[in-house]
Every structure is written in structure tokens, then in C-alpha cells.
Amino acid sequence: MNLTVKTYPNNFAPKLTYDVLIENQQDGEVSATVLGLPDFKGSGVTKEEAIEKLIQLLQERKPEIVTLEIERPQTEHPWIKFAGMFKDDPQFDEMLAYIEADRRELDAQMEEYYRQLDAEDETK
């Protein structure tokens, strides 16, 4: 398995954006929680204070977000093991002829069906 971690140089730090859930608590305080990261939570008397405390927490803990690119392992197609398995079967040609005859019969039935539909449409 190949694993590639994309990182940025020290002089380039892209802005991190977070979705934050703001909730009024029963005790009158307001909490601000980063969605998906419940450990990152700030609370205060006002919404602004809760967000400010959350920002301070994020800056103190210095979270780093990296992008992982993981290559899928190379696997054989699951049906490849069946390719050519009837190559030397004496009945294979007979089976193909049966399939071809059945297909012609189904095609003829469909053609007749559509002719009947066209005939009905012309009489309307």
C-alpha cells in the first residue's frame, strides 16, 4: 500500500475552516463546538465569548489537518479467473448456438410486439 501525506511548507499555512455548532445552555451560557470534533469546545456568557474561547483552544492545541492519498491495492478483476474456462469444452459451440437461436426468437417476438403497437397507434 502506498501512502502519501500532503503537507504545506512552514511559510505557507492555509486557513482552516470549521463548522461550529452554537448552543444555548440551560445555565444561561452559550457553547461553541466544532462539528465532528467534540473535544474542541468553548463556552461563555455570549456567543462571541464562546467562539473566542473556542478559537483560543484551537490556537493553543495547534491542530494540523493533512490530506492522505492512499492508493488502492492492485487486485485482479474477480471474473478474470473464469476467462477462457470453456475453451476446450466440446459442448461450448452447441451452447453458443442455443443462445443465438434464443436471441433471434426473442428479437422476433419484440419486433412483432412493436408492429402491433404501431398498428394500434395508426388506428387511433
- The predicted-structure confidence for 72-109, as pLDDT tens digits, reads as follows 777 888 888 888 888 888 898 899 899 999 999 999 99
3-state secondary structure of 102: helix
Task: Give CA–CA dist 55/57, Å, rounded.
Answer: 5
Mind listing the pLDDT tens digit for each residue in 62-75? 777 777 888 877 78
Show the cell assigned to 68: 492522505
Task: Give CA–CA dist 99/95, Å, rounded.
Answer: 6
Record the pTM.
0.45
Architecture of the structural domain at 3-70: 2-Layer Sandwich (3.30)
Task: Give CA–CA dist 43/45, Å, rounded.
Answer: 7
Q: Is-contact 42 52, C-beta < 8 A?
A: yes
pLDDT band at 23 (very low <50, low <70, confident <90, very high): very high
Task: Give CA–CA dist 93/86, Å, rounded.
Answer: 10
